[in-house]
A and B are shown apart, each in its own frame.
Chain A
């Protein structure tokens, strides 16, 4: 399984993800500069967290128009996997690969925490190593992580079981329906605000995230 991690000016979780796929999982991995346009050698494209283009205008808005994003859209259209974490999730909603938008946290604070999440669905490779309804802990660190969608979009997300992760207990950012991560209807594009790559190496104290990456290898 070959992984590519997109690097925009301002990305800052790219190496954390590459460390997980390359060092912990021993999978071929390369960093993909935002000006690249050929991703055909990759199986999984990951858009990491950070502050692409300084979060200017809106989080993810300018990254959407970088050369690599058309290739990411084509990669997703071919049914291959695309995974956006944190700022990567924002880029995927701005690109229209996932519905809705991520807006300023309800309480205005930048939240840096370790919330609990419920795994809502486990029939996709992303979550196949979890139990349905299992409560896991993953770190979050964001100022604009409040998931918003109009009532119709929200209803269709729920009806199609596109919510993979939901905050359990306290909702840290005011996300509608406590949404922490969603996929597209086909299930090959996933976006989430929590950082599974920061919960992969036991030395960091949390390990619930590694199972997500391991699920992609089967």
Chain B
């Protein structure tokens, strides 16, 4: 019997919710201003997380990623997240 898995790469972006003050973003914005760019504002700093996962299909991969983001990678009290899935390879495992 052969089982087929799909291997995805997920690119996950975690950002502070708009209602949460981002003092680091404000500080960076002030640095940009000191460089002479007066036209840049609303700087917000977030996190980028990349991981690979195996799943039977894209729906399963999506569902798992939402669980991992909700439970650990983002704190829903202060953060939002979004992710992009890219199919990397189709893996075949022979079950004996």
Contact = CB atoms under 8 A, between A and B. Distances in A.
A149 B77 contact: yes
Contacts of B73: 57
B23 A65 contact: no
Nearest to B47: A57
Interface string B12-27: 0000100111111001
Interface string A24-51: 0000000000000000000000000000
B78 interface: yes
A100 B77 contact: yes
Nearest to B78: A101
Contacts of A174: 21, 23
A57 B72 contact: yes
Contact of A106 (B19, B21, B72, B77): B21
A103 B72 contact: no
Interface residues of A, number: 20
A162 to B, nearest CB: 16
Contacts of B80: none
A61 B23 contact: no
Contacts of B72: 57, 61, 65
Grouping DSSP codes into helix (H, G, I), strand (E, B) and loop, the A interface class, with mixed when no group exceeds half, is: loop
B75 A94 contact: yes
A110 interface: no
Interface in B3-62: 16, 19-24, 27
Interface in A87-120: 93-94, 99-101, 103-108
A101 B77 contact: yes
30 contacts: A57-B72, A57-B73, A61-B75, A65-B72, A93-B77, A94-B75, A99-B77, A100-B77, A101-B77, A101-B78, A103-B16, A103-B20, A103-B21, A103-B78, A104-B22, A104-B23, A104-B24, A105-B23, A106-B21, A107-B23, A108-B23, A108-B24, A146-B21, A148-B20, A148-B77, A148-B78, A149-B77, A150-B77, A174-B21, A174-B23
Interface of A: 57-58, 61, 65, 93-94, 99-101, 103-108, 146, 148-150, 174
Given A104-B23, A107-B23, 18 more contacts: A57-B73, A58-B75, A61-B72, A65-B72, A93-B77, A99-B77, A103-B16, A103-B20, A103-B21, A103-B78, A104-B24, A105-B23, A106-B21, A106-B23, A146-B21, A148-B77, A148-B78, A174-B23
